[in-house]
Homo-oligomer: A and B are copies of this chain.
Amino acid sequence: MANSTKASNAANARTPRRRASITDVAKAAGVAVGTVSNVLNKPERVLPATRERVEAAIAELNFVRNGSARQLRAGTLTSVGVVVLDLANPFFTDAARGIQDRLERDSFTLMVAGSDEDLDRERRYLRLYEEHGVQGVIVSPATDDIDHVLAVRERGTAAVLLDRPSPVPELASVAVDDVAGGRLAVEHLIAQGHERIALLNGPHTIRQCRDRRDGAAAAMADAGLDPGTALVEITVPGLTPDGGEAGIREVVALPARTRPTAVFCVNDLVALGVLRTLRREGVAVPQGMAVVGYDDVTFAAELATPLSSVRQPTSELGTRAADLLFRPEDSAPEQVVFSPELVVRESSASSPEAGRPR
């Protein structure tokens, strides 16, 4: 049928002239529907001759199985749904890649949706997946409210929390210790001599943001600084470069006396915007302002000022999540927590090679 389409006209193609059903095929081939079904599912059970007739009819009628009907009978589907916070964030797409890699082994298919940190959208997608009978869902929740995830699981669909430790034992999760991450970043900055540090953060409804802040504050307290004044938290309008730009402008506008000398960004996208803006404004990094990011995305090391960042085992996060999805029924749900590590680069280290890169 390769080029036959060339002849057809557009309107025709668009018209939803009823898709051929298995009954149509049966009729056209002069066999029973059961036989067509067998050709589709257990070809070996049907005589080559009849099979050919049926296959001809299928091709002829352009038949495509109706997945809904199929599934209505079968009960379930070999696919998995994922909802991440942000489709444009490399952290999540890398994790999605990890999931896909793992799932591929069992020839599951993966569908991804982005919630844009919106609880409603998260719920909508989750419900869509569930209604369509996916085998499991992997969600990085936008807020603390995960009742809907729990509910999905209650109803018999496997569920795993991604990048978020589970608050209840019966739900599996894969996460990275964000408190530790925040602590790492700020301990490092303090060690570099900074005593007032800005935190460009997202809303505290997002757990990652809250935890990283808590870690940062803890590091301050441990160092004998008062987090209340020494940690200047600024909520950015978006976890993006533009958000970072807006945030750092606020910092720079602060009176010199109380202006932080370092900034810890809740992710590398934000940090990218910060670096961009500081450069434009002629502020030297790290001398005028030290910067630490989070996620250690691919490009962090290659920036004009190589960016210090808290690294997470991103893709492994995904593969583990996929693993947990299909553990045997009787095994207890597992809570996996990875540890982050800090990668120090020039954006925060006024040490050895402070001058020119390379």
Question: Interface of A with B (CB < 8 Å)?
Answer: 1-2, 5-6, 8-11, 13-17, 19, 62, 64-72, 75, 79, 81, 87-88, 90, 93-94, 96-97, 100, 109-114, 124-125, 127-128, 130-133, 147, 150-151, 153-156, 158, 168-170, 241, 269, 272, 275-276, 279, 282, 298-299, 301-304, 306, 329-330, 332-333, 356-358
Q: List 30 A-B contacts (CB under 8 A).
A: A1-B147, A5-B154, A5-B168, A9-B170, A10-B170, A13-B153, A13-B154, A16-B75, A62-B151, A66-B133, A68-B69, A68-B131, A68-B132, A69-B72, A87-B97, A87-B100, A88-B90, A88-B93, A96-B114, A100-B114, A109-B113, A109-B125, A109-B128, A132-B132, A272-B299, A276-B301, A279-B302, A279-B358, A302-B303, A304-B358
Closest B residue, CB atoms, query A71: B68
CA distance in complex: A132, B78 (Å): 12
| A16 with B156, Cβ < 8 A, contacts A87-B96, A303-B299, A303-B304 known | yes
Q: Closest Cβ of chain B: how far from A111's Cβ, in Å?
A: 4
Closest B residue, CB atoms, query A134: B67
Copies in the assembly, this chain: 2
Closest B residue, CB atoms, query A78: B128
CA distance in complex: A310, B281 (Å): 26
CA distance in complex: A302, B109 (Å): 36
Q: Which residues of B contact A110 (CB under 8 A)?
A: 113
State whether B114 touches A111 (Cβ < 8 A).
no
State whether A111 touches B109 (Cβ < 8 A).
no
Closest 4 pairs between A and B when the two form their complex, measured CB to CB: A67-B131, A111-B111, A16-B156, A68-B68
CA distance in complex: A195, B137 (Å): 54
State whether A356 touches B356 (Cβ < 8 A).
yes
Closest B residue, CB atoms, query A133: B68
User: CB < 8 Å: which of B68, B69, B333 contacts A10?
Assistant: B333
State whether A11 touches B330 (Cβ < 8 A).
yes
State whether A302 touches B72 (Cβ < 8 A).
no
CA distance in complex: A110, B121 (Å): 11
Q: Which residues of B contact A276 (CB under 8 A)?
A: 301-302
User: CB < 8 Å: which of B1, B13, B67, B112 contacts A113?
Assistant: B112
